[in-house]
Amino acid sequence: MKTKITRKEIPFDMLRVRPHHLWNSQWLLLTVGDFKARKFNAMTVGWGSLGTMWGRPFAQTVVRPTRYTYQFLKQCNTFTLCAFPSEYRQALQLLGTRSGRDGDKIAQAGLTPIASTQVAAPGFAEADLIIECRQLYWDDLEPSHFLDSTINRNYPQQDYHRVFFGEILAIWGTDTYRADS
Ligand X SMILES: Cc1cc2nc3c(=O)[nH]c(=O)nc-3n(C[C@H](O)[C@H](O)[C@H](O)COP(=O)(O)O)c2cc1C
Helix (H) or strand (E) holding 123: strand 123-124
Give min distance, CB of 135 to ligand X, in A.
16
Instruction: Work out whether 62 is an interface residue with ligand X (CB under 6 A).
Output: yes
CB-CB contact of 141 with 161 (8 Å): yes
Q: Tell me how far apart the alpha carbons of residues 126 and 26 are, in angstroms, rounded to a whole number.
A: 15
Instruction: Work out whether 60 is an interface residue with ligand X (CB under 6 A).
Output: no
Instruction: Work out whether 85 is an interface residue with ligand X (CB under 6 A).
Output: no
Candidates 45, 106, 109, 130: give the one binding ligand X (CB under 6 A).
45
- CB nearer to ligand X: give 10 or 80: 80
* Amino acid (one-letter) located at 44: T
Instruction: Work out whether 146 is an interface residue with ligand X (CB under 6 A).
Output: no
Secondary structure letter of residue 48 according to DSSP: E
Candidates 15, 17, 44, 155: give the one binding ligand X (CB under 6 A).
44
Could you tell me the sign of the dihedral formed by the alpha carbons of 37, 162, 49, 128, in that order? positive
The site for ligand X (CB under 6 A) is made up of 27, 41, 43-47, 62-64, 67-69, 93, 96-101
